[in-house]
Amino acid sequence: MSAKIIDGKSLSLKIKEELKREVQDLKNKGINPTLAVVLVGDNKASQKYVSFKEKACKELDIQSLVFRFPEDTEEISLIKVIDELNENSQVNGILIQLPLPKHLDQNRVLERINPLKDVDGFTPFCLGRLLTDNPLYIPCTPKGVIRMLDEYGINLEGKQAVVIGRSIIVGKPLSLLLLKRNATVTICHSKSVNLPDITKKADILCIAIGKENFINSNMIKEGAVIIDIGINVTNSGKVVGDVNFEEVRKKASYITPVPGGVGPMTIAMLMENTLYAAKLQHKVLK
């Protein structure tokens, strides 16, 4: 068997084309969707992700405002910026690029975002809404994963879904979304024991830990759906996921590549959430 590739890149292009038309519709109504991105410090990966987000905004004609701050920025200054963005009616979405430098309290900073502008869906309010099956903004990466599974007609009901990783960015919200779709969900993390015993039972295996080649073909079930969320840069500078792609694709039924899988979908979902924010704030939701 050779797995079918879940092509996140082309799906994201299709979604962005639709969103581009919606942006023009909003502009015709005098609404100018705007995303504010806050980047603290000089983490190279974060800088790259912010540039991808800026590029996507440009493609869709969404206004992006990027606020860059030095590594040693004090929390009080950052909070002040967030307060100003909350108050600014021109700004529809606010995104704080994570991770923040260690001296900043990530929870306190995220909590400060007005939930109506929390397009990443990481505030306690948005995560709580997700937990109570009444989402406002769904975190972009998990939302993108579910959209890909839907697009490829992969049924989740009654399936064994295993998620490796329990961050609020990926693992936890993804587990809730899979649960909502009636999968039986197991969440694994760095303290889980006998991981292969668990992963080998998975019909759907989602992995987001940031460890190159972590999943090999001995750890999966024949015909499993493999969603590789990890992003790692090898010593030779190549971008790879958490799965040994060449080996695992021979045994899986579907697999996401890295790059070209979950990554572009994350950006497309951010654009979708930003448009939703603009519509919500201008009361033009259907």
The catalytic residue positions are 53, 97, 120
**Sole binder of ligand NDP in the list 199, 263, 275, 281 (CB under 6 A):** 263
| Residues paired with residue 233 on neighbouring β-strands, in sequence order | 239
Does 183 engage in binding with ligand NDP (CB under 6 A)? no
Binding status of residue 208 toward ligand NDP by CB under 6 A: yes
Hey, how many other C-beta atoms are within 10 angstroms of the C-beta on 54?
Answer: 16
Is residue 88 close enough to count as binding ligand NDP by CB under 6 A?
no
- Cβ(103)–Cβ(71) under 8 Å? no
126 in contact with ligand NDP (CB under 6 A): no
Is 170 an interacting residue with respect to ligand NDP (CB under 6 A)?
Answer: yes
Minimum gap (Å) between residue 230 Cβ and ligand NDP: 4
- Least CB distance to ligand NDP at residue 60 (A): 18
Specify the residue, 26 or 254, whose C-beta has the smaller distance to ligand NDP. Answer: 254
Q: How far apart are the first and last CA of the chain?
A: 44
Cβ 51 to ligand NDP, closest distance in Å? 14
- To ligand NDP, the closest distance from the beta carbon of 235 in angstroms equals 16
Placement of tokens 């879940």 in the chain: 6
Q: Give the residue, chosen from 26, 113, 126, 164, that forms a contact with ligand NDP under the rule CB under 6 A.
A: 164
In the complex with ligand NDP, the residue whose CB is nearer, 214 or 276, is 214
Closer to ligand NDP by Cβ: residue 66 or 195: 195
Q: How many CB atoms lie within 10 A of CB 10?
A: 11
CA–CA separation, 260 and 283 (whole Å): 35
Indicate whether 199 belongs to the interface with ligand NDP (CB under 6 A): no
Min separation Cβ 95 and ligand NDP, Å: 13
In the bound complex, which residue of the shown chain has the CB atom lying closest to ligand NDP?
A: 210
Q: Rule CB under 6 A: is residue 139 a binding residue for ligand NDP? A: no
Return the residue of 86, 88, 106, 167 that touches ligand NDP, per CB under 6 A: 167
In a 13 Å sphere around the CA of 237, the CA atoms on its Cβ side amount to 0
Question: Closest Cα partner for 84 from 62, 103, 112, 106?
Answer: 112
2 exposed, middle or buried (CB, 10 Å; 0-12, 13-18, 19+)?
Answer: exposed
**CA-CA distance, 121 to 277, in Å (whole number)?**
11
Q: Distances from the Cα of 217 to the Cαs of 125, 200, 244, in angstroms?
A: 39, 9, 8
How many other CB atoms are found less than 10 A from the CB of residue 250?
12
Quote the crossing angle between the two packed helices 171-180 and 140-151, to the nearest 10°. Answer: 40
With binding defined as CB under 6 A, does residue 169 bind ligand NDP? yes
Where on the chain is the footprint of ligand NDP (CB under 6 A)? 141, 164-167, 169-171, 188-192, 208-211, 229-232, 262-263, 266
